[in-house]
Amino acid sequence: PDGLLYLGLGDGGSAGDPSGNAQNPARLLGKLLRIDVDSGTPYAIPPSNPFASGGGRGEVYAFGLRNPWRFSFDRATGALWLADVGQNTWEEVDIIVSGGNYGWSPREGTHCYPPGTSSCAGPYLDPVVEYSHAEGASITGGYVYRGAALPRLVGHYVYGDFGSGHIWAVPAAGPYTPVQIAQGNAISSFGEDAAGELYVADLATGQVSKLVAAP
């Protein structure tokens, strides 16, 4: 919505981010980046980026991420929603703010990492939603629904899980209590059309399906 390009980068592996990339603002891995591709060669750093004046790479917009898998802007509010795939136990949904530190790898979700660590206090922003691997294995981010065909879903963030195939919705304004609304297979991505209606890509079947009301 601001005319800039956002890019999500994983921490680069291997398990547990042993190089500490996600917490190091001087590295691009484990971050959400924001750049201006209409200026500079090959691009320019937006002056409003949190490290544009120093202290880290100017491209960095938010950090402490493990594996951002789909992010989107709420077309009504401009809020930036991001799904971050966990390591072994927890998946999470974050609302991204400039300069935000989302905790990986001292934390996985709201929990200390690795498990059994006695303390992981820090200036970390909590996810608005987290779930354990009892409910899925790899989160896939979606969109805040702003269409017209599903009035009860308006204002809900819709997301899924690649492993379990569950699709949930959670009120974007809170309380952040998800409800499962559909079941798929290998949910790999979501799409949004010009009218705000949502679509689901299923890697297992090779199909793209539109979310519609139950008959």
- Residue 66, CB half-sphere, CA atoms under 13 Å: how many? 28
- Predicted local distance difference test score (pLDDT) of residue 100: 98
- 3-class secondary structure per residue, 153-175: HCCEEEEEECCCCEEEEEECCCC
- Predicted local distance difference test score (pLDDT) of residue 14: 87
Q: Which two tokens stand for residue 70?
A: 């789909």
Return per-residue pLDDT of the chain as tens, 215 residues: 999 999 999 999 889 999 999 999 999 999 999 999 999 999 999 999 999 999 999 999 999 999 999 999 999 999 999 999 999 999 999 999 999 999 999 999 999 999 999 899 999 999 999 999 999 999 999 999 999 999 999 999 999 999 999 999 999 999 999 999 999 999 999 999 999 999 999 999 999 999 999 88
- Predicted local distance difference test score (pLDDT) of residue 145: 98
- Architecture of the CATH domain 137-215: Beta Barrel (2.40)
Q: Where are the domains of the chain?
A: 137-215
Q: Are the C-beta atoms of 152 and 116 separated by less than 8 Å? A: no
The whole-model pTM stands at 0.97
How many Cβ atoms are within 10 Å of 137's Cβ, its own excluded? 14
- Predicted local distance difference test score (pLDDT) of residue 215: 85
